[in-house]
Structure 1
């Protein structure tokens, strides 16, 4: 009986920080220190450490001498994650198409409108927030739980990459236009078109990342194509 409250607290802390990581609320400069979190939450150190260790085991965090942090991925790892995205996300989005509720579609509509406004304001933080809402809304509708959790895990690991590519002027118009098209495809329940658009969206993000990092001469497995 005495272990039950500690297990409950540990799970609550895990879920809280998992959500923060997946929503982009933890940056690469943040250090999650178990003693500081325990003091803030007014709990003992052990359930906090257990929760952070679980997040580390699942790939969301890495342990450092100054606490826990988001993984500092190497260039090769980032490019490999883009390859995973090309393989997994288009199919996942197609599966989610029939599962999105009207409430989900309303959220997507509002988020796309927010993205469109940033074309005038240039507010990259607002665009990032809107893009995160769009991404998380359709991902949470994916009926294949293992597929959904895999995507959530690697997307949490490359938050800074997504923020950098959204701030790249050359890709801004393209990404927002693709978000508009995806909203229409999701709304019309056109899974095949959603799958195609998601592939183009990932490719646009990868191309932007390659420009930012000066990798245009590096080979890419798939080339982007324009809408027919």
Structure 2
């Protein structure tokens, strides 16, 4: 039961069902899943040990990432992901490519309808497929360990229409590289995509800070 609760909560965290204002309490989680307190608490502690949650005196909360945390995550992504994606491109099966194409279509449909959450989920699916295709299991684990921690970044970069356009273009360009099993093209496109995502995030953060400062002066 512990594993089931862990996997379920992790998916819910990935889907942004919880915010930094929410508190996850073991007794409430146990009641929700129809089990005793211990499996629920063990699942929450497992999520905490991997950095998904932080324990407080009144339950567990989602950690608030600082700007430096975000910079660190982007630095790791720049160093690791382009080469990993290139390996994945060269290892792509027809089934992998079909799944990527389906995720790309989901993203395009979400973009046309302006559904930011659906786009985020499609982006996560697209990303998950190519990560699965990385032949080095340790490299896969390293990338996955930062995927969930970057959730706040994905949410922030999909708030505005211009940002969603960058994401859609990135998925489209990556799809072409993966479909052709062109590792060099995928490496270059993902590196550019990561740079663009970082710029979008910090541009949005600066805008929020300026708005907050203006309100403080009024």
- Normalised TM-score (structure 2): 0.85
Q: Aligned residue pairs: how many?
A: 207
Equivalent position to 1:55, from 47, 50, 53: 47
Which moves more between the two structures, 21-30 or 128-137?
21-30
Alpha-carbon contact 1:23-1:132 (below 8 Å) kept: no
Which moves more between the two structures, 194-203 or 106-115?
106-115
1:101–1:31: structure 2 CA closer, same or farther, 3 Å change rule? Answer: farther
2:78 is the alignment partner of 1:89? no
Structure with the largest fraction of helix? 2
Q: Offset of 1:53 from its aligned partner?
A: 0.9
Equivalent position to 2:106, from 87, 94, 114: 114
Alpha-carbon contact 2:104-2:122 (below 8 Å) kept: yes
1:6-85 to 2 correspondences below 5 Å:
9-85=1-77
Q: Give the secondary-structure state (helix, strand or coil) at the position aligned to 2:55.
A: strand
Match of 1:153 in 2: 145
Alpha-carbon contact 1:82-1:206 (below 8 Å) kept: yes
Superposition CA RMSD, Å: 2.1
Query: Runs of 5+ in structure 2 lacking a partner?
Result: 208-218
Q: How far, CA to CA, are the matches of 1:30 and 1:97 in structure 2?
A: 39
Deviations 1:41-61, CA, capped at 9 Å, x for gaps: 222211221121122112121
Query: Runs of 5+ in structure 1 lacking a partner?
Result: 1-8, 216-228
Q: Offset of 1:134 from its aligned partner?
A: 0.8
Q: Give the secondary-structure state (helix, strand or coil) at the position aligned to 1:213.
A: helix
Alpha-carbon contact 2:91-2:181 (below 8 Å) kept: no
Q: Give the secondary-structure state (helix, strand or coil) at the position aligned to 2:91.
A: coil
